[in-house]
Structure 1
Amino acid sequence: MDTLTRMRTFVEVVEAGGFSAAARKMGRSKALISKYVRELEDELGARLLNRTTRTLSLTEVGQVYARDATEILQRIDDLQTSVGDAHAAARGRLKVSAPRTFGDGELGRAIMDFVVQEPGITLELHLEDRFVDLVDEGFDVAIRITSLTDSSLIARRLASFRIIICASPEVLERHGRPEVPSDLAGKPCIIDTNVGYRSNWPFVIDGERVTVGVKGRVEVNSPNAARLGALAGLGFTIVPFLVVREDIANGRLIPVLESFEPAGVAIHAVYPHRRHLSGKVRAFIDSLVHWFEKYSPPGGSC
């Protein structure tokens, strides 16, 4: 019996919560399941499970082994799935979560391009700003704009995500162009309450992240509304570059303090760590990667 089979049996016992449940799931006898786990412990020279007549628990070593073994098995399964799905057509229902503002714009176009290209896909797109629980809520994939620190998810980076400060030419003429972030403290600003920093705008100065408190008589809860306020000459605002890209190209809005912009945030496609990457999800993510490579400006930043 090979180590991989013993490892997989052990993980099944842990996930099922016992030998009997694992045996039923795997279609094998409880005695055989117990034998495989015992052989694994003998091979490792360490006890992985504490067994009593009524309870089963992981030892400290068992906890570490279960975590790492699960990851190894997932990678093996994903590799086998990727080979099998390499030439298969994407099909089935695809449930996707994405941030509302982004989904209404650039990302929405990328997603709809994918659906056009894949007639076997039925799309269920949820646009909302909260971070959904992919497993509990049954999502296949989520698009997130973040630095992404959740190790329970697998992520594919799609593009950098640029946050800029901008204002109309009229505002710059009336109030002057800020040279350093602290200059904004005395200038009218449009505040988006839908972002975490609200009126404490983030910057990077000499490699360190700092915030500057700003004020203004306009507060909104959408970057699109912040854009409209900036176009109306109501002050400086902080918005995703993708929201104002055309306005900047046409000179309606002017970026400022570009050398102080925060970095490290990116657009990611994420999916549950322990879920097999199906053909439809793989095709969807690959499509987004290619879309951003094609349509993003130089540097891959949105």
Structure 2
Amino acid sequence: GQSLIDFAKEHPDIVLDIHLDDRFVDLVEEGFDLAVRISRLENSSLIARRLAPFSVRLCASPDLIAKHGMPMRPQDLARIPCIIDTNGRWLTNWPFKGDAGDTMSVSVSGPIEVNSPMTARAAAVAGLGFTMLPDFIAIPEIESGRLVTALDDRLLSGSGIFAVYPHRRYLPAKVRVFVDFLVQWFKTRESA
């Protein structure tokens, strides 16, 4: 959100029509110039430019860990309360690196389902369970000590935040300016 506000300040001549939506939009069909997505890309007719790396953290409050113990293996989460983000990619099957370096998933459940990572974070801070959070959402609470991470070495990485736009030979200048801006914006925050 902040990146959009910074861009609007720098480019008062470009009108931003922003749709914050967790569903997967069809850019061409719905007439959007650009989307920012967190995922690997399936559709080859779209151009994607990687803006920043993206990783997740498995977190819970110190109180919850004191009560249920720190999970030593992903399988331990099956018996510990977890917070399900219904907008997340994994729902109740959370992926991890297996013992042999392969990918495995653990079926989790818990007392609360939410539909945004911010709400999942608030629920985790309140001690309701473990949750998977994007690192940039988790970090402030980890630094403040309100959340603790677990199983860091078993989490899958390698995803990214992408600017995605329809394949057009002549990319509108406004879109190019915006993509370049986002690339720089994320870069300055990574080094911060």
- Say yes or no: TM over 0.5: yes
For 2:131 and 2:141, how far apart are their aligned partners in 1? Answer: 13
Q: CA deviation at 1:196?
A: 3.2
User: What are the within-5 Å matches in structure 2 for residues 20-59 of structure 1?
Assistant: none
Counterpart pick for 1:293 among 168, 174, 187: 187
Q: Deviations over 1:217-249 (max 9, x none)?
A: 112222111111111111111121222221011
Provide the secondary structure at the position in 2 that maps to 1:110.
helix
Q: CA deviation at 1:295?
A: 0.8
Which AA in structure 2 matches 1:240?
A: P
For 2:112 and 2:191, how far apart are their aligned partners in 1? Answer: 31
Aligned to 1:160: 53
Provide the secondary structure at the position in 1 that maps to 2:174.
helix
Aligned to 1:241: 135
Counterpart pick for 2:101 among 196, 204, 207: 207
Aligned to 2:16: 123
Return 5+ residue gaps in structure 1 as ranges.
1-107
Q: CA deviation at 1:274?
A: 2.8
Provide the secondary structure at the position in 2 that maps to 1:120.
coil
Aligned to 2:73: 180
Identity of aligned residues (%): 51
Which AA in structure 2 matches 1:215?
A: S
For 2:175 and 2:69, how far apart are their aligned partners in 1? Answer: 49
Query: Paired residues, what number?
Result: 191
Aligned to 1:252: 146
Q: CA deviation at 1:297?
A: 5.8
After TM superposition, the runs of 4+ consecutive aligned structure 1 residues lying more than 3 A away are none
Query: Do the aligned partners of residues 297 and 213 (structure 1) sit closer, same or farther apart at CA in structure 2, a change above 3 Å counting?
Result: farther
User: What are the within-5 Å matches in structure 2 for residues 33-182 of structure 1?
Assistant: 108-182=1-75
For 1:271 and 1:220, how far apart are their aligned partners in 2? Answer: 29
CA RMSD in angstroms comes to: 1.4
Which AA in structure 2 matches 1:165?
A: L
Q: Would you say the 8 A contact 2:56–2:155 is kept in 1?
A: yes
Q: TM-score, normalised by structure 2?
A: 0.94
Counterpart pick for 1:227 among 108, 118, 121: 121
For 2:155 and 2:184, how far apart are their aligned partners in 1? Answer: 26
Q: Which has the larger radius of gyration?
A: 1
Return 5+ residue gaps in structure 2 as ranges.
none
Q: CA deviation at 1:184?
A: 0.9
Higher RCO (Cα < 8 Å, 6 or more apart):
2
Q: CA deviation at 1:275?
A: 4.6
Q: TM-score, normalised by structure 1?
A: 0.61
Higher helix proportion (structure 1 or 2): 1
Query: Do the aligned partners of residues 245 and 297 (structure 1) sit closer, same or farther apart at CA in structure 2, a change above 3 Å counting?
Result: farther
For 2:67 and 2:2, how far apart are their aligned partners in 1? Answer: 37
Q: Deviations over 1:68-89 (max 9, x none)?
A: xxxxxxxxxxxxxxxxxxxxxx
1:267 and 2:156 are equivalent in the alignment? no
Q: Deviations over 1:135-185 (max 9, x none)?
A: 222111111111112101011000111111100111111111111101111
Provide the secondary structure at the position in 2 that maps to 1:127.
coil
For 1:256 and 1:219, how far apart are their aligned partners in 2? Answer: 20
Q: Would you say the 8 A contact 2:57–2:138 is kept in 1?
A: no
